[in-house]
């Protein structure tokens, strides 16, 4: 098999995918500028430090390594930051993806797996989204990803490129073996932040909004373990290699937990009450509930989750925080 280019492969999700690819014998080239990724998180393949928006570099990598498959993770992903600095997100998430697609077209790349997001759905009335749910993002992060999806579909329609777009719901947890985890500084993902608080790395845990129209007033999300999500990427790769058609698929478990339920799970796993949980106003860009319908992922790609258990997800995330950086106040 030709090598696979993984952009953003030193980041949280990308590094878990690289690990699984390498474990099954794939040849991997990782392109990452290390702005939010970590060199030590790349457990297999070759790391090239550089930007996805660097046309000359990307063309050279694709040509020199005869790349025929790209998995594209490189992106900014913090929703509140996208609201306060939208051009940063359109620049990195959309414009750099446009550059990457142009490079793929120029060098004859055949397969493209794209890291997208449930944020493209905005606020579906039922709180549940399948792939036919209208896209109506309510923040620049979701809009930047939706623009990239549109470009990818248009390029595929005009060329031999085929793609799988994977729309992630809330990714959480860490490698069960403890080798890699979520290390992004100033992360905003609830389970990550709450586990940091549980081990003393954050002085406070905020609940953003307690007046939503949900059973306990807090937001509900569909949390998927990062290793199950990584496995979906390998299934997408296999689908494309047997000349499968282009697809857009949701990645989630099909049920959600509220913020308070997640906090209770962390307290149960850690054996301690979280010391400083404060209720603050709603955060811009947060829908009340967002849960996946992932029936197509299972039916078409044969994906079956291994870690659909909130306490297991929390346990792996907490173990990572306990073994990683020293305590700090934040």
Q: Which residues are catalytic?
A: 141
Half-sphere exposure of 53 (CA within 13 A, CB side): 10
In 108-168, which ranges are continuous DSSP H helix? Answer: 140-157
Residue 249 near residue 131, CB atoms below 8 Å: yes
Give the position of tokens 């996208």: 82
Torsion sign, CA atoms 284, 165, 89, 72: positive
Give the position of tokens 């930047």: 144
Residue 14 near residue 33, CB atoms below 8 Å: no
- Centre a 10 Å sphere on the Cβ of residue 261 and count the other Cβ atoms it contains: 15
- Residue 55 has which token pair? 């046309």
Q: From the centroid of its chain, how far is CA 317?
A: 15
Exposed/middle/buried for residue 23 (C-beta within 10 Å: 0-12, 13-18, 19+): exposed
- Centre a 10 Å sphere on the Cβ of residue 46 and count the other Cβ atoms it contains: 13
């Amino acid at each position: 098999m030709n090598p696979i280019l993984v952009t953003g492969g030193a980041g949280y999700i990308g590094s878990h995918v690289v690990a699984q690819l390498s474990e099954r014998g794939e040849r991997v080239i990782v392109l990452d500028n290390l702005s939010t990724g970590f060199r030590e998180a790349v457990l297999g393949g070759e790391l090239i430090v550089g930007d996805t928006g660097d046309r000359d570099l990307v063309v050279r990598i694709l040509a020199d390594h005869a790349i025929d498959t790209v998995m594209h993770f490189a992106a900014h992903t913090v929703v509140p930051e996208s609201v306060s600095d939208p051009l940063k997100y359109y620049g990195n998430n959309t414009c750099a993806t446009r550059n990457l697609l142009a490079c793929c077209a120029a060098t004859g790349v055949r397969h493209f797996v794209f890291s997208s997001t449930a944020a493209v759905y905005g606020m579906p009335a039922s709180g549940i989204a399948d792939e036919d749910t209208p896209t109506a993002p309510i923040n620049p992060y979701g809009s930047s990803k939706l623009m990239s999806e549109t470009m990818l579909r248009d390029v595929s329609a005009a060329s031999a490129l085929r793609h799988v777009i994977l729309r992630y719901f809330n990714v959480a947890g860490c490698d069960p073996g403890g080798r890699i985890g979520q290390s992004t500084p100033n992360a905003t993902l609830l389970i990550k932040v709450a586990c940091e608080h549980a081990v003393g790395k954050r002085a406070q845990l905020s609940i953003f909004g307690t007046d939503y129209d949900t059973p306990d007033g807090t937001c509900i999300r569909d949390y998927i373990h990062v290793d199950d999500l990584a496995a979906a990427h390998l299934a997408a790769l296999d689908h494309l290699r047997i000349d499968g058609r282009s697809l857009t698929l949701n990645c989630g478990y099909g049920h959600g937990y509220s913020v308070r339920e997640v906090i209770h799970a962390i307290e149960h796993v850690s054996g301690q009450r979280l010391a400083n949980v404060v209720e603050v106003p709603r955060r811009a860009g947060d829908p009340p509930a967002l849960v996946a319908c992932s029936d197509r992922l299972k039916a078409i790609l044969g994906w079956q989750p291994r870690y659909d258990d909130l306490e297991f997800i929390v346990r792996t995330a907490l173990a990572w925080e306990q073994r990683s950086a020293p305590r700090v106040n934040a």
